Amino acid sequence: MDAAVIARNRFGLGARPGELDRDQPPARDWLLEQVQAGLSPTPPNMATLPDSRAAAAKFEDWALARARERRAGKSGAEADAAEQFRKSFQQDLLAEIGARADQQVRTETPFLERLVLFWSNHFALSADKPQVTGLVGPFEREVIRPRLLGSFADLLIAAEQHPAMLRFLDNANSFGPGSEFVRDPPRRLRRLASNNGQPLKLGLNENLAREILELHTLGVNGGYTQADVVELAKGISGWTVQTRLLRGGDAVGPHGFVWFAEAHEPGDRELLGRRYEAGGREQGEAMLRELARHPATARFLATKLARHFVADQPPASLVARLEQRYRASGGELGAVYRALIESPEAWQPEPRKLKRPEEFLVSALRATGLPAPREGKAWVASLSLLGQAPMRPGSPAGWPDEASAWIGPDSLWKRMQIAEQISEKLPARTEPLALARAALGPWLQADTIEAMQRAESTAQAVAILLSSPEFQWR
């Protein structure tokens, strides 16, 4: 029972009524089976959401509408058209968030859904940036979900080559200083130069390269220099997307990644003391594969995984084991998850992680058997109140995984308010203590039981359960 409650909470999204009691495989096997089986392809509720090509096309239409609006003398129809597009991006985003919430609340493979959240936060995008508002959702479905259990190198390359990332961290506008485009810009790019009266500076943009090193692979203390940032930026120059002003190139892959040889910096590169021969897009891919193999990356990812699942300050022995398994397996993520599940440190009885806002909200609905709200809007409102608006971490670093960074008096208070809001949706016949035992098993404390028994109403008893300290920890 202890192992089951740990598995469902620490590794999952909370227990639904009956899940702890049911005659189930032992807790470790339940997790290992999820890793074995993998995520089902596209959940039906996500099948109708737009893919990144549709989203990018819509963005281009919007850019065109906005350009027209600028050229038009008076405000009016054009301004309204651009506004319509903006609204429609927001609607797509809300539909995405709603479908995702529904998936989290109903899933039979909650460990894998947690991993989706983990990797989406690792390769964080923020819908704040208009160019990616419509792409954040497709990124998660096209990059993260299909590659949860494969090699990290494949995940890394897919993430950096997705239009969402290329736009979010500006590689779509990065041009090798010695590239053909910079020496002799095509007419369309020159027209961009006169757009809006701004001179266009065609040149290298280091943003994505820097974040790859700092946030996606080696980590901030991973031992790279500014020269490495520039070399990587040159290596991945020419990795871009198609826009109204930049047509042509070789379309690579199904999601809108385009290789422009004319924007790529020619020549050999040297990254972290290793040489990469001049070449096409494979040059940057070889650099990423090497970064994925780097010991600092193994260490960085092992630490992040252990911190996410086990403790803000994870046990060194656990980090070392995950790191070792990462290196021994050549960066196979499934092997690393198995090492995590098989590590005794991960099963310490005392919960040391506070649920993040999303985990709290999902687990509260799972515990009470309520569905996710039909409208993504309500979900966004609740999570924004709790301090982590979905798909808007506001920074490429994603949300911090140490509770001290985001749990404060105010967010605790709001958890109580949201707990009460949820409790009021329950039918009158609800038996609060049965729900409590089904959700928390042996973690349920005597004083919480007593407070629930003394509650003035069924709803208040449930609000106490969802507000209780033991419901905040996992």
Partner 1 sequence: MTALPLNRRQLLGALGASGLLLAWHGLGLAASDSPRRLMVVLLRGGMDGLAAVPAYAEPGFAALRGALDTGAPGGEQTSLKLDGSFGLHPALRHCAAAYQAGELAVVHAVAPPYHGRSHFEAQDCLENGSDRPHASQDGWLNRSLSALPGSEGLAIASALPLMLRGPAPAETWSPSPLPEASGDLAQRVSRLYERDARLGPAFRRAADSQGLAMGRSEGRPRNRLPESIRQAASLMRGRDGLRLVMVEDGGWDTHARQGGAQGALAGKLGKLDEALATAKTALGPLWPQTVIVVATEFGRTVRVNGSGGTDHGTGGVMLLSGGAVRGGKVHADWPGLGPSALLDGRDLRPTTDSRAVFKGLLLAHLGLAESVLAERVFPNSRDIRPLEGLVHS
- Three-state SS for 424? coil
Whether residue 435 contacts residue 11, with contact meaning beta carbons closer than 8 Å, is answered with: no
Closer to partner 1 at the Cβ: 73 or 273?
73
Q: Which stretch binds partner 1 (CB under 8 A): 52-60, 75-83, 87-95, 229-237?
A: 75-83
By rule CB under 8 A, what string of x and - marks binding of each residue 21-60 to partner 1? ----------------------------------------
Q: Which residues of 272-286 are buried (b: 16+ CB within 10 A; e: fewer)?
A: beeebeebebebbbb
Closer to partner 1 at the Cβ: 85 or 337?
85
Q: Assess 464 for contact with partner 1 (CB under 8 A).
A: yes
Q: What are phi and psi of 91, to 5 degrees?
A: -65, -40
Query: At its nearest, how many Å lie between partner 1 and the CB of residue 457?
Result: 8
Q: Assess 199 for contact with partner 1 (CB under 8 A).
A: yes
Q: Assess 73 for contact with partner 1 (CB under 8 A).
A: yes
Whether residue 438 contacts residue 458, with contact meaning beta carbons closer than 8 Å, is answered with: no
Query: At its nearest, how many Å lie between partner 1 and the CB of residue 416?
Result: 6
Query: At its nearest, how many Å lie between partner 1 and the CB of residue 166?
Result: 16
Closer to partner 1 at the Cβ: 88 or 417?
417
Q: Which stretch binds partner 1 (CB under 8 A): 22-30, 249-257, 331-339, 448-456?
A: 448-456
By CB under 8 A, how many residues form the interface with partner 1? 62
DSSP string for 216-259: ISS-TTSS--HHHHHHHHHHTTTEEE-BTTB--SEE-STTSEEE
Q: Assess 198 for contact with partner 1 (CB under 8 A).
A: yes
Q: Assess 69 for contact with partner 1 (CB under 8 A).
A: yes
Strand (E) or helix (H) holding 208? helix 207-211
Closer to partner 1 at the Cβ: 72 or 316?
72
Contacts of 408 (CB under 8 A, 6+ apart): none
DSSP strand pairing (257-259 vs 239-241)? antiparallel
Give the residues across from 151 on adjacent strands.
332
Closer to partner 1 at the Cβ: 70 or 247?
70
Query: At its nearest, how many Å lie between partner 1 and the CB of residue 386?
Result: 7
* Selected binder of partner 1 within 146, 416, 430, 433 (CB under 8 A): 416
* Selected binder of partner 1 within 407, 426, 438, 444 (CB under 8 A): 407
Strand (E) or helix (H) holding 276? strand 274-276
Strand (E) or helix (H) holding 473? none
Q: Other C-beta atoms within 10 Å of 457: how many?
A: 12
* Selected binder of partner 1 within 22, 23, 44, 74 (CB under 8 A): 74
Residue labelled with tokens 């809001």: 421
Q: Assess 126 for contact with partner 1 (CB under 8 A).
A: yes
Whether residue 376 contacts residue 97, with contact meaning beta carbons closer than 8 Å, is answered with: yes
Query: At its nearest, how many Å lie between partner 1 and the CB of residue 376?
Result: 17
* Selected binder of partner 1 within 161, 171, 448, 458 (CB under 8 A): 448
Closest C-alpha to 294, from 122, 161, 395, 156: 156
Q: Assess 408 for contact with partner 1 (CB under 8 A).
A: yes
Q: Assess 290 for contact with partner 1 (CB under 8 A).
A: no
| Residue 296, amino acid | A
Contacts of 339 (CB under 8 A, 6+ apart): 321, 322, 325
Closest C-alpha to 415, from 363, 377, 474, 351: 363
Site for partner 1 in 360-399 (CB under 8 A): 381, 384-389, 394-397
Separation between Cα atoms, residue 180 and residue 202, nearest integer Å: 11
Residues that bind partner 1 (CB under 8 A): 69-75, 78-79, 126, 128-129, 196-199, 207, 210-211, 220, 354, 381, 384-389, 394-397, 400, 405-414, 416-418, 420-421, 445, 447-448, 451, 454-456, 460, 463-464, 467-469, 472
